[in-house]
Amino acid sequence: MRLHRIEPLIEADALSARVRDLAMQISVDYQGRDLLVVGILKGAFVFCADLLRNLHGLRTQVDFIACSSYGVATETSGVVRILKDLNEPVTGREVLLVEDIVDTGLTLQYLQAHLHRQHPRSLRTAVLLDKPYRRQVSVQVDYRGFEIPDVFVVGYGIDWAEHYRHLPYIGVVRFLND
């Protein structure tokens, strides 16, 4: 691993306040309805858990889908592969896809198409972090936490080569000796 340090970008307090706001909006939008929340592993697992615990007045079920990510590198390959598909049926259900980061948009585009093919009653997407600068495809994002610059981030479930998922804040990886 290259010599680096982690520089805080979004503190834990700001994250929890924003996640509560998003959850409140989702609670209003789906009031009294059944919602299948689909977290994208592994990066969205903390965001998904915090979002769920702040939803009120609706019935939820939770499932997870895993797809290939950056692996050990910090650049996307652009190739998306499903490593673990859903256990719950999607057809006819109200589905909320929960993602950690939208960058090029390729991952979300692929997963949204994958779910649409199974004919959900509705499909919306919540994203914690939006990096709009390298977008290659336009994707629908219904609930957005923060817009961030084009930097490589870790923490709050998001890793670098499986490290740093435990950090309670979002930090930027700064490489030393560059």
Stretch of 19-27, 31-39, 98-106, 115-123 contacting ligand 5GP, by CB under 6 A: 98-106
Task: Assess whether 103 carries a catalytic annotation.
Answer: yes
For ligand 5GP, the binding residue among 26, 65, 153, 167 (CB under 6 A) is: 153
For ligand 5GP, the binding residue among 41, 152, 165, 169 (CB under 6 A) is: 152
- 46 is a site residue for ligand 5GP (CB under 6 A): no
For ligand 5GP, the binding residue among 52, 104, 165, 169 (CB under 6 A) is: 104
User: CB of 95 within 8 A of CB of 108?
Assistant: no
| DSSP helix/strand/coil, 32 | coil
- 102 is a site residue for ligand 5GP (CB under 6 A): yes
Closest separation in Å from C-beta 176 to ligand 5GP = 18
Closest separation in Å from C-beta 103 to ligand 5GP = 3
- 70 is a site residue for ligand 5GP (CB under 6 A): yes
- 106 is a site residue for ligand 5GP (CB under 6 A): yes
- 146 is a site residue for ligand 5GP (CB under 6 A): no
- Distance, in Å, from the CA atom of 10 to the CA atom of 146, rounded to the nearest integer, reads 9
Closest separation in Å from C-beta 78 to ligand 5GP = 7
**How do the residues of the chain divide into helix, strand and coil, expressed in percent and rounded to 5?**
25, 35, 40
| Nearer CB in complex with ligand 5GP: 60/104 | 104
Binding residues vs ligand 5GP (CB under 6 A): 43, 69-70, 76, 99-107, 131, 152-154, 158-160
